[in-house]
Amino acid sequence: MIQKMDEYISALLGANVSADDIEKTKAVIGSTKEVAEILDSPSVPLAEKENAINELFPRAIRETLVQISEDMCIADFAEVAKRYLAELDKKNNIANAVIRCVTEPTAEQLEGFKAFVCKETGAADAKIEIIKDASLLGGFTIDVDGRQYDRSLKTKLKSIKESVEKNAVSDNNIDAAGIISILKEDIKDFEFETKGEEIGTVISVGDGIATIHGLDTVMYGEIIIFESGVKGMVQDIKKNTVGCILFGSDDEISEGSRVKRSHKKAGVPVGEEFIGRIVNALGEPIDGKGDITADDYRLVEQPAPSIVDRKSVSQPLETGILAIDSMFPIGRGQRELIIGDRQTGKTSIALDTILNQKGKDCICIYNAIGQKASTVAKLVGDLEKHGALDYTIVVCATAADPASLQYIAPYSATAIAEYFMYKGKDCLIVYDDLSKHAVAYRAISLLLERPPGREAYPGDVFYLHSRLLERSSRLTPELGGGSITALPIIETQAGDVSAYIPTNVISITDGQIYLESDLFFSGQRPAVNVGLSVSRVGGAAQTKAMKKAAGSLRVDLAQFREMEVFTQFSSDLDADTKAQLQYGKGLMELLKQPLGNPMSLAHQVITLVVAIGKGFTDVPVEKIKKYQADLLDYFDDRYDDIIADINTQKVLDDSLRERILKAASAFKN
The verdict on whether 536 is a catalytic residue reads: yes
Whole-angstrom Cα distance, residue 422 to residue 313?
Answer: 17
- The H or E element containing residue 245 is strand 241-246
Among 536, 554, 561, 659, which one carries the catalytic annotation? Answer: 536
Whole-number CA gyration radius for the chain = 34
Between helix 601-612 and helix 553-567 the angle, nearest 10°, is 50
Bridge-partner residues for 197, per DSSP? 148
DSSP 8: H
Q: Report whether 456 contacts 308 (CB < 8 A).
A: no
Between helix 403-421 and helix 434-447 the angle, nearest 10°, is 130
Whole-angstrom Cα distance, residue 441 to residue 504?
Answer: 15
Residue 35 has phi, psi (to 5 degrees) of: -60, -50
Beta-strand runs (E) in 406-547: 426-432, 483-491, 511-515, 534-535
Q: How far is CA 144 from CA 86, 97, 117, 128, 197, in A?
A: 11, 5, 7, 10, 10
Whole-angstrom Cα distance, residue 20 to residue 511?
Answer: 71
Whole-angstrom Cα distance, residue 337 to residue 328?
Answer: 11
Mark out the alpha helices in 286-345 (DSSP H runs): 322-327
- The H or E element containing residue 260 is strand 258-265
Residue 365 has phi, psi (to 5 degrees) of: -130, 120
In 3D space, the residue among 203, 209, 204 whose CA is nearest the CA of residue 440 turns out to be: 209
Bridge-partner residues for 236, per DSSP? 243
Long-range contacts formed by 133-141: CB under 8 A, 24+ apart: 133/100, 133/101, 133/102, 134/102, 136/100, 136/101, 136/102, 137/102, 138/102, 139/101, 139/102, 139/192, 140/99, 140/100, 140/101, 140/102, 140/105, 141/99, 141/100, 141/101
Residues 6+ apart with CB under 8 A from 191: none
Q: Report whether 311 contacts 287 (CB < 8 A).
A: no
3-state secondary structure of 582: helix
Catalytic residues: 536
